[in-house]
Structure 1
Amino acid sequence: MTQPVLEVTNLSTHFPTRRGVIKAVDEVSFTVGQREIVGLVGESGSGKSITGFSVLGLVDPPGRVVSGSIRFQGEELTQLPQKAMRAIRGKRIAMIFQDPMMTLNPVLSIGTQMVEAVLAHDRVSRTEARNRARDALGMVGIPSPEERLDAYPHQFSGGMRQRVAIAIALLHRPDLIIADEPTTALDVTIQSQILYEIKRLAQEFSMALVWISHDLGVVAALADRVLVMYAGRIVEAGPVEDVLSQPAHPYTLGLMQAIPSAVPRGEPLRPIPGMAPSPLARPSGCSFRDRCQRATEICSAEPRLDILADREWRCFHPNEGRAA
């Protein structure tokens, strides 16, 4: 069996506060194989982004990884010193952030920023670094890449800025890219184009990709497997077609029923009732039980992890199609 590119085991990331400890990520486990695209979905505050930041060692203090293992190509990342982690971050593992205007420096040209990203990891001439930056812009579909290197972020549209962010992530041909909702602010036409480019490039360069999103439609179009997070835990995982056609966990079903396109015209949406629990007062047992129509007394206990072939879920009352 081929070794996974990324193997996360029982990862927990906590934020201590005056009112208590926020368990943003609570014993999360998953793997990502070569050329595999894994979607990580859930409501805002479910722990998706913090999971990605934990892998890259980007959790801001006082937050920290308190337990668990993060193995990248067999190397344990949680034990690496900062200098060694900086050598991996950006070169072997890259990240695409949600808002490119927050990651691109507005007073530096695109070319300057991309050249510095190349020189930070590779000892090459500035001419060679500029050529690599130009080629990366061309790969993501930016026209006249040589000229656009001299442009500034404000001279690009939102979709083009996001393409620049993707190009920067591709500069070193990383083995793993973590994309944190990079198409959320874009219109559906540009979003479709970027999803197509991402999928093509992942296959072309044999990259693994973790796609963090709250949009099940995007994940359905892009991912091979999907991980559904709720209150800091993965509550369901499996091949994307299987999970979305026969969701086992009531939370996954609730997310699907809240999609506007899935509702016949004239019928109201079916949102998940209630609110996600406060991370400072998370209930014992199943965290979803206060919002679940299937909940019974047994749900006050911690739900076990059920595994069937390549599917897994945490629920005492899985949906009938999956239970069979």
Structure 2
Amino acid sequence: MTMASPLLEVLNLTTRFESAQAPVTAVDNVSFSLEAGEILGIVGESGSGKSVTAFSLMNLLDAPGRVAAGEVRFKGRNLRDCSPREWQALRGDRIAMVFQDPMMSLNPVMRIGAQLTETVRVHHRCSRSEAVDRAIGALKRVGIPAPDERMRAYPHELSGGMRQRVAIANALINQPDLIIADEPTTALDVTIQAQILYEMKLLVRESGAAAIWISHDLAVVKDLVDRVCVMYAGRVVEQGPVADVIRQPLHPYTRGLLASLPTAETRGQPLLAIPGATPPLSALPPGCAFAPRCGRASTACAQVPPAVVVRGRTHRCFHPLVAA
């Protein structure tokens, strides 16, 4: 009996930005896989390479950025071999992206209905009435009230939460196999954020699609995702089932992220911040990039730690918090 291949398989993805001094590696040998119906979280501080990873997967990098090495296999096919025409057919249909700012994907001078129906008709042969029905259905699925009226609205006439729901509806309208969401709830208040997280999880479960949810906040993803990749300075330093990672982190950086979150038990106490700051990608220290901020660092950390698999989880640390 042969095992089915993952929906998405990322193998040693490396993305660089060319500069006059030296190329800057923003994504360094990143690998992960994603099954249909699964939600993967990618978390880390600003500058850790999360968004660049997403843009690399979608082939949306602008010069001087480029994917320098690795493979991105979608349904067994290496997307790095796709032509611009093939990418045009894939994006918005089989693979969709929700951006942090909905105005990056919504045209301010087009009505909501025109934008949604255009997304349908660019990829599928159908009548205008069929496209309108699908657009209204997509708005209903993301919890927008009175969708018929919203179809006639312009983006500026909607609140930030409503615009983000429209952007999610636009991503889901063609029932893609993969959805990539790049911190889509960061600018929203916690009530709207919770609603969108719930609706996103429900929609993925109902449609059978897979999703990648990018966030700087482990508290946001812990109830949404199935597995999580923790990134630091362009590298995945830990990945595994989200419940296991939160209950028993292996990498000191993951523990630092968790310790910085407010909880009911730490109410009224100062939060534990990770000392120092993320180093610039153009001036990374040799070996483990987290070593200058890590209380467990030793001379061994002058080398790049290899990926170690421990009971179905992966980490890159010479001094993990739990021994193998």
TM, length-normalised to structure 1: 0.97
**Structure 1 position 4 matched with structure 2 position 6:** yes
Counterpart in the other structure of 1:255: 257
Q: More displaced, 18-27 or 5-14?
A: 18-27
What is the one-letter code of the residue matched to 2:310? L
Give structure 1 stretches of 5+ with no counterpart.
Answer: none
Q: Tell me the CA shift for residue 262 of structure 1.
A: 6.4
Counterpart in the other structure of 1:51: 53
CA distance in 1, matches of 2:309, 2:173: 39
CA distance in 2, matches of 1:40, 1:232: 12
Whether the 8 Å CA contact 1:229–1:236 is kept in 2: the answer is yes
Whether the 8 Å CA contact 1:263–1:269 is kept in 2: the answer is no
Counterpart in the other structure of 2:323: 323
Counterpart in the other structure of 1:105: 107
CA distance in 2, matches of 1:265, 1:110: 43
CA distance in 1, matches of 2:57, 2:111: 29
**Deviation sequence 1:36-90 (CA, Å, 0-9, x none):** 0000000001000111111110011111101000000011100111111111111
Q: Tell me the CA shift for residue 131 of structure 1.
A: 1.1
Whether the 8 Å CA contact 1:19–1:280 is kept in 2: the answer is no
**Deviation sequence 1:276-301 (CA, Å, 0-9, x none):** 11111112211110000000111101
CA distance in 2, matches of 1:133, 1:120: 13
CA distance in 2, matches of 1:71, 1:41: 22
Counterpart in the other structure of 2:305: 303
Give structure 2 stretches of 5+ with no counterpart.
Answer: none
Counterpart in the other structure of 2:15: 13
Structure 1 ranges of 4+ moved more than 4 A? none
Counterpart in the other structure of 1:129: 131
**Structure 1 position 180 matched with structure 2 position 182:** yes
**Structure 1 position 151 matched with structure 2 position 153:** yes
Q: How does 1:1-324 map to 2 (within 5 A)?
A: 1-261=3-263, 264-319=266-321, 322-323=322-323
CA distance in 2, matches of 1:104, 1:40: 24
Q: Tell me the CA shift for residue 128 of structure 1.
A: 1.2
Q: More displaced, 255-264 or 150-159?
A: 255-264
Percent identical pairs in the alignment equals 58
CA distance in 1, matches of 2:220, 2:263: 13
| CA distance 1:53–1:262, shift in 2 (3 Å) | farther
Whether the 8 Å CA contact 1:7–1:30 is kept in 2: the answer is yes
Q: More displaced, 189-198 or 257-266?
A: 257-266
TM, length-normalised to structure 2: 0.97
What is the one-letter code of the residue matched to 2:112? I
Q: More displaced, 265-274 or 203-212?
A: 265-274
What is the one-letter code of the residue matched to 2:175? R
CA distance in 2, matches of 1:172, 1:193: 22
Whether the 8 Å CA contact 1:256–1:262 is kept in 2: the answer is no
Q: Tell me the CA shift for residue 263 of structure 1.
A: 6.1
CA distance in 1, matches of 2:50, 2:194: 22
| DSSP 3-state at the match of 1:235 | strand
| DSSP 3-state at the match of 1:242 | helix
What is the one-letter code of the residue matched to 1:226? V
CA distance in 2, matches of 1:263, 1:248: 22
What is the one-letter code of the residue matched to 1:215? D
Q: More displaced, 44-53 or 102-111?
A: 102-111
Q: CA RMSD in A?
A: 1.0
What is the one-letter code of the residue matched to 2:280? S
Q: Tell me the CA shift for residue 247 of structure 1.
A: 0.4
